[in-house]
């Protein structure tokens, strides 16, 4: 049994003492909160997470192959936990109030056109060390389709500029190698030459893209950075999600004829049906072009 944050232990104790949950139910809640804790960027990040962070967490579980029933149970657990944090004054809000039950996406994921992606990637001022880092991160995200959590935790040991690949360790210690392409490789090298040492300021870090404090950047921070550059690029940030470049990566590959199983492998999807949503994106794009340009569209 893993040691959890004292606040989480307090919550579990409260469930047992005040709500009389069975041992099996209590054990299930503990397992869910252990999984949730492993996902957190810092041990007490649950005190500052927002609605989008939690929706991203639940979405990632579906991508990793967890059943909808498992994710629904996780949501139930999180709702109880964050209600506890609110009533015990650990938080001033309950971010689970607007969360919806997780489902396999029947709708098309939000994506950007290739022109919008280019505008977004061109937004950072690469003369500034922080924005040079962001430029390299955005380029790598679009080049590889990494999840934001995989990007911010990417270690030096899992990046090979010489071979032009990143090594990603996913659920169940499953590994995948993803090519990074010349453009992303170039900007990572530029960041290593002119930005990383300045950000670290004599500190040591194993992550490729450290924060200004020399630590691993949080998902929330990078999401705010994406929204900042979206505004500069003239893109409505309200229409974005943290995985917008991951979706663009997959959509644009499919649009250009990439084999669906290759896209599945690159994204790290355990189930091909999860990847198949991007074929619908491509079909929707073709239908839109047909309506726009065909004489009888």
CB atoms within 10 A of CB 150: 21
Residue 160 in 3-state DSSP?
A: strand
Exactly one of 104, 171, 174, 283 is catalytic; name it: 171
Q: Which tokens sit at 295?
A: 């004489």
What is the Cα–Cα distance from 45 to 67, expressed in whole angstroms?
Answer: 25
Q: Is 193 an active-site residue?
A: no
Phi-psi region of 180 (alpha: psi -120 to 50; beta: other; left: phi over 0): alpha
Exactly one of 135, 243, 247, 252 is catalytic; name it: 243
**Helix spans in the chain (H):** 6-18, 23-39, 51-63, 68-87, 114-121, 129-144, 148-152, 181-194, 196-200, 219-232, 244-255, 260-267, 272-275, 277-293
Q: Is 243 an active-site residue?
A: yes
What does the radius of gyration of the chain's CA atoms come to, in whole angstroms?
21
Exactly one of 61, 133, 135, 147 is catalytic; name it: 147
Q: Which tokens sit at 49?
A: 């997470």
Exactly one of 30, 246, 247, 252 is catalytic; name it: 246
Angle between helical axes of 51-63 and 23-39 (0-180°, round to 10) = 100
Q: Is 147 an active-site residue?
A: yes
Q: Is 133 an active-site residue?
A: no
Q: Is 171 an active-site residue?
A: yes
What is the Cα–Cα distance from 35 to 38, expressed in whole angstroms?
Answer: 5
Residue 250 in 3-state DSSP?
A: helix
User: 């307090």: which residue's tokens?
Assistant: 10
**DSSP single-letter state for residue 296:** T
| Active centre residues (catalytic) | 147, 171, 243, 246, 269, 278
């Amino acid at each position: 049994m893993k040691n959890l944050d004292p606040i989480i232990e307090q919550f579990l104790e409260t469930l047992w003492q005040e709500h009389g949950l069975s041992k099996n139910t209590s054990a299930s809640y503990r397992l869910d909160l252990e999984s949730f804790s492993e996902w957190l960027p810092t041990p007490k990040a649950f005190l500052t997470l927002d609605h989008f962070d939690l929706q991203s967490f639940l979405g990632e579980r579906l991508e990793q192959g967890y059943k909808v029933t498992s994710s629904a149970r996780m949501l139930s657990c999180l709702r109880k936990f964050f209600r506890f944090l609110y009533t015990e004054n650990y938080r001033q809000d309950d971010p689970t109030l607007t969360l919806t039950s997780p489902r396999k996406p029947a709708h098309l994921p939000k994506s950007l056109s290739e022109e919008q992606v280019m505008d977004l990637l061109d937004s950072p001022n690469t003369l500034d060390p922080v924005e040079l880092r962001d430029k390299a991160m955005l380029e790598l995200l679009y080049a590889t389709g990494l999840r934001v959590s995989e990007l911010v935790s990417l270690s030096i040991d899992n990046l090979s500029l010489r071979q032009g690949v990143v090594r990603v360790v996913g659920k169940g210690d499953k590994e995948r190698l993803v090519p990074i392409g010349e453009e992303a490789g170039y900007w990572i090298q530029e960041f290593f030459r002119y930005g990383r040492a300045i950000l670290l300021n004599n500190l040591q870090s194993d992550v490729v893209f450290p924060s200004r404090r020399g630590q691993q950047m949080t998902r929330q921070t990078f999401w705010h950075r994406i929204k900042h550059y979206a505004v500069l690029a003239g893109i409505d940030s309200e229409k974005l999600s943290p995985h917008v470049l991951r979706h663009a990566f997959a959509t644009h590959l499919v649009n250009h004829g990439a084999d669906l199983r290759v896209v599945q492998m690159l994204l790290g999807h355990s189930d091909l049906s999860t990847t198949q949503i991007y074929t619908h994106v491509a079909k929707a794009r073709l239908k839109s072009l047909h309506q726009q340009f065909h004489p009888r569209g």
